[in-house]
Amino acid sequence: MSTEKLSADQGLLYYLIKQVRPDLAEKISKSKTIETMIVGLGRQGTRHAQLMMEYGTNVTCGIAPGRGGTRVHETIPIYETAAEAVENHPNIAVASIWKHYSTAKDSTIEVIKAGIPIVVLISEFIPLRDVRDILVEARKHKTILFGGNTPGIIFPPESIKVGMLPDIFQAQQVDEIIGPKGVTILSRSGAILYHLSDALASEGISQNGVLGVGGDGAIGSRFIDLVTLVMNFEHTDLVVIAGEIGGMQEEILAQDMISHPEKYPKPLVAMISGANAPEGKTMGHAGAVIAPGQTYGTYNSKKEILEKAGVIVVNHQRDLIDVVKSKLNKLYFEIEDYYKKMKEKWNAKPPEPTWGTLVTNVMPNNLLIRGYPLQEVIANKGLLETAHLLVTGEFPNLEKIKDLEKIAKEAAKEEFSESLEISPNTDVSKIIGTCLLLDSSISEFMNRTTEESAIIAFSLGRALRYLATIFNNLDVLNQVSIDNISFADMIYLGLVGEEKQEKQKTRLLEAIITACVDHGVTPPSAQATLILASTRVSFEVALSAGIQAITDVHGGAGQKAAEFFLSVVDKANESSIDLEEATFRIMRDIIKTGKRIEGLGHRIHTRDPRRDVLWNLAEKAGYAKECVTVSKLVSDVFFRVRGMNLPINVDGVIGAIIADMNINPKLAKAVFVFGRIAGLGAHYYEEVTTQSPMRRLAFDKAVYKGPAIREIK
């Protein structure tokens, strides 16, 4: 069967929205999407948010006081209030309420006042005085309110459900195309609603909308409010109401049909449950109870007046099927297709548990940073722009990049408040990790702002100061004015020490650093950061752990690769041989000793996506010299020596360029560590804002849920 769905602006839900908010309907007709909001993210709300999304519903955001600024299911932003949510997402059209009955009133009224036209109140047992206040507000704002005590609403053609309804509903399908026609079901009972829908579908009868009106004694929208509404939808061929004993909904509807038959132009069939219910005994729902001594609310009273209005009343779904088929005299899809679909659904193995990340999609020979190919980011964007992208999902505008530049530059100039002894012989990762822990300026900055990209920019500035100290360039860094220098120039000055550097050389070094920002959640540095973030340690502690996990095994190959390339060039000059032969001889001698050639091989990539863009930038800058030439030969030479294909990786490329730039080889590892601060910071904030504390992290189960591939504009 086709997996396509009906355009959002052609279905019944759009029609309902249009009756209340024509301005919002106009926006939906342009965007072709209906945005929904979920209020109450406890166990049930959180679980069903995921199920709704899997069905096809656009769950735009959630409301959970005290959790604003975080996300649920990695992709759904959470706000403190409905007003705040609508301010950020003005096109929200539907909200579902999953709150305890004691707090449902305030949450529902808040949503109604925010202007949401369709509200689905899942909560049950709401006190009548609270329902009264909710209904007053709903009438005032012309809100279509379903519930309380509703399983929700579902629109199979559009693949939109709001609530806890199962995926058993069937849309019209003609020649593999989903259509809007069918039966509309309105039910007070959730269980009966499921059974009716399945029974009709098993006979080839589709549903264009299945609406749980709610089972409590007092609810937002009655049959009389909804039946005429859905009958006016041109693609509804017949309406089924599933009623039950208690209350007067069915009697009121029938009386209106008798008085105003012109309002009911389409067939209506009613199935009433509770024919044998005793007086005074609640039958499942709070509203399903016959008041003792009263003649209304009974099965017989409902049946009698409905039949007087010309409605066929049945008491069993077999009878319902027969009546509906006789009224329609047509099928909406092939029955065999429905059974096949259901068989596949029930036989399907449950999906393996996964968790999501929006930061980086790591694929063989490709890396997407928030949807952008990393090679394109390297070629077109700077380090601070990339850091902002990593943590927010978008590149900064000009005003924001100026702010981040100022923050990073001021951080690089700020003196240490502690006495930090840095030995040049100590490992770069250990030094930076230790400095992050001891440097109180980061925590002080975090007391002034919670903006994540600003905190990462500040941390990059501090890390630059640590590196300038390691490479004995702190004095020259201290002498410059931040008003007359870019952060990229400060990076070059702090790492290399040249005051009058060439612009292309500065850009090349920044590109090398940007190439190192992230490689997903599985590298040891990311794992260490995420584990500590899961325990909710402070930002700088988790970042320190991630940085110190960058060793010669992970992230440290660039320095040794640079030393290898320089040794090849020296060998070629000393022995008066070409670079390829020198590479062969040195590689052969190294392999004989059982040592590895650093900068070769990758667990995922056979052609590292960062390779060519860095080579090209080195060529443009005039720093693609002997070592870069060797880096382009080394894989073929390795095949000559070992008979194995082992591609050069980003560490090898960086090592070659660093060597050709005549920079200290130790800088190759330093730039890897420096760049990775941006990615580790993004992973930290994603963990603390989207995942529960102390969760069990299965790193191999992470799934990229960020944007698909997109172009830099």
Catalytic (active-site) positions: 285
- Beta pairing, strands 92-97 & 35-39: parallel
CA distances from 235 to 93, 156, 157, 331 (A): 21, 13, 11, 14
Give the strand pairing for 92-97 and 144-147.
Answer: unpaired
| Those residues with Cβ within 8 angstroms of residue 382's Cβ, 6 or more apart along the chain or in another chain | 487, 488, 510, 514
Orientation of helix 22-31 relative to helix 12-20, angle to 10°: 140
Q: By the 8 A CB rule, do 57 and 161 touch?
A: yes
Q: DSSP secondary structure string, 205-233?
A: --EEEEEE---SSS-SS-HHHHHHHHHTS
Report d(CA 527, CA 520) in Å as an integer.
9
CA 145/CA 117 separation, integer angstroms: 8
Identify the sign of the CA torsion 681, 683, 689, 691.
negative
Closest of 121, 125, 118, 129 to residue 155, by C-alpha? 118
In angstroms, the Cα distances linking 520 to 231, 359, 389, 453, 679 are: 52, 7, 14, 18, 8
Torsions phi, psi of 142, nearest 5? Answer: 55, 35
For residues 279 and 267, what is the distance between their CA atoms, to the nearest angstrom?
32
* Dist CA 295 CA 454 (whole Å): 69
Tokens of residue 502, six digits: 């060439």
Count the Cβ atoms, other than its own, within 10 Å of residue 499: 12
Q: Tell me the backbone φ, ψ of residue 589, rounded to 5 degrees.
A: -65, -40
**Widest Cα–Cα separation across the chain:** 113
Q: In what order do the strands lie in the sheet with 92-97?
A: 71-72, 76-79, 58-63, 35-39, 92-97, 118-121, 144-147
User: Both tokens of residue 509?
Assistant: 């070094």
Please give the full DSSP string across 577-639, using - where no structure is assigned. Answer: --HHHHHHHHHHHHHHTT---TTB--SS-SS-TTHHHHHHHHHHHT---HHHHHHHHHHHHHH
583-604: buried (b, 16+ CB within 10 Å) or exposed (e) per residue? bbbbbeebeeeeeebbbbbbee
How far is Cα 389 from Cα 375, in angstroms, rounded to an integer?
Answer: 14
Residue with tokens 């089924």: 240
Block residue for tokens 């590689």: 587
Residue ranges of E strands in 91-194: 92-97, 118-121, 144-147, 152-155, 160-163, 172-174, 177-179, 182-187
Answer for the pair 230, 239: CB distance below 8 angstroms, yes or no.
yes
Q: Beta partners for 268?
A: 239
Cα separation of 420 and 425, whole Å?
15
Q: At what angle do helices 539-548 and 452-470 cross, to 10 degrees?
A: 50
Closest CA to 378 of 572, 553, 510: 510
Residues whose CB falls within 8 Å of the CB of residue 398, separated by 6 or more in sequence, listed in order: none
Q: Are 689 and 680 in contact (CB under 8 A)?
A: no
